[in-house]
Amino acid sequence: MQRDLHEQNRLSWNAATAAHNSHKGDQAAFFRAGGDTLFPEELELLGELEGVELLHLQCNAGQDTLSLARRGARATGVDISDEAIRFARELSAGSGIAAQFERADIYDWLREAGAAGRTFDRVFSSYGAIGWLSDLEAWGRGIARVLRPGGRFVLVEFHRAAMMQGEDLRPLQPYRSYGKPLHEPEGIGDYVAASGEGLLHGAPGEAGVQDFRNPHPTWEFAWGISDVVMALLDAGLTLEALREWPYSNGCLIHPGMRADENRRFHPPPGMPDLPLMFGVAARKG
Ligand SMILES: C[S@@+](CC[C@H](N)C(=O)[O-])C[C@H]1O[C@@H](n2cnc3c(N)ncnc32)[C@H](O)[C@@H]1O
């Protein structure tokens, strides 16, 4: 794994996470009033959550982790960003929803958790996670090691096909980069502001940071669906489900997209269907 690049990404995520949360208003109040940030796609793949020991990898500021915890999971969120984990802990205290949050590069965390014998019924990751990972084989092995026998890994992720296109939806980025890092000098942008109500999950929101410019560049990795699935199979997991969806939950990937009443963004009228998200469920044993 390329730790130096992960560390550069950490700085970019610290800056972006503060900007993203600035638009979301009083999130503790949102959760105390019953707010929920999960979409039906991940809930269907995750299945029953009551009493389940759940690991949320790349949990960012913890909103999905807390939504899972409220459904009865004993949830642990892990993320490399200092700002994300600081915010998540504060939100857990302010909302009254218990969850554990640990700041670490997931590669270090999975190695240490595996060595310590920590195990989980579910491991979950979603929406913008895979592209930050420099070694998918190590990722798959780390997940397989911390899953209990019969436990399930669930991923709901933006499709690489969606990331390949420029604003006019013509191809711009490669489908796969075969482990080679892709440099983004502008770093992580303010996709929460760009998505309007899409990522507010029904909260009132507020203006927050305007015209955010991230001073920290990023390095990303383009993994195709076969990279993801093979990393899990090679680690000994069994594929239970593989799904593709022609819309993007909550996130405006391209300016021309339009949200429906369920906060799913679709390509502009006249465009043929594109695969914009995919989902995987894989079982251990
Ligand atoms: C798009 S966000 C994921 C959002 C998430 N689905 C949620 O619940 O809000 C991607 C996250 O990956 C984290 N990340 C990137 N590289 C990482 C690494 N090597 N180890 C741990 N977290 C990492 C970032 O800090 C960021 O919070």
Instruction: Give how many domains the chain has, as a whole number.
Output: 1
Amino acid letter, 239: L
What is the predicted pLDDT for the residue at 267? 86
Q: Using a 6 Å cutoff on CB, does residue 247 contact ligand 1?
A: no
Q: Say how far residue 191 (Cα) sits from the centre of its chain.
A: 13
Q: Using a 6 Å cutoff on CB, does residue 146 contact ligand 1?
A: no
What is the predicted pLDDT for the residue at 254? 79
What is the predicted pLDDT for the residue at 252? 80
Q: How far apart are the CA of 270 and the centre of ligand 1, in A?
A: 34
Q: Is the dihedral of CA 65, 66, 69, 74 positive or negative?
A: positive
CA torsion angle 238 78 56 127 (round to 10): -90
Which residue's C-alpha comes closest to atom 27 of ligand 1? 60
104 pLDDT higher than 80:
yes
Range list of H helices, 184-259: 191-194, 225-234
Average pLDDT of the segment spanning 52-78: 98
Average pLDDT of the segment spanning 190-204: 72
Put residue 202 in one of left, alpha, beta given phi > 0 → left and psi -120 to 50 → alpha.
Answer: left
Could you tell me which of 218, 214, 62 has the C-alpha nearest to residue 134? 218
Instruction: Sort 75 into a burial class: Cβ within 10 Å, 0-12 / 13-18 / 19+.
Output: buried
Q: Say how far residue 40 (Cα) sits from the centre of its chain.
A: 15
Q: How far apart are the CA of 219 and the centre of ligand 1, in A?
A: 13
Q: Using a 6 Å cutoff on CB, does residue 128 contact ligand 1?
A: yes
Which residue's C-alpha comes closest to atom 13 of ligand 1? 58
Q: How far apart are the CA of 58 and the centre of ligand 1, in A?
A: 4
Which residue's C-alpha comes closest to atom 11 of ligand 1? 58
CATH no. for residue 180? 3.40.50.150
Average pLDDT of the segment spanning 255-272: 86
Instruction: State the residue range of the domain holding 103.
Output: 3-284
Q: Of all helices (H) and strands (E), which one includes residue 222?
A: none
Cβ-based neighbour number of residue 111 at 10 Å: 18
Could you tell me which of 75, 64, 118, 79 has the C-alpha nearest to residue 98? 75
Ligand 1 atom nearest the C-alpha of 84 is 27
Which residue's C-alpha comes closest to atom 17 of ligand 1? 80
125 pLDDT higher than 90:
yes
Q: Using a 6 Å cutoff on CB, does residue 134 contact ligand 1?
A: no
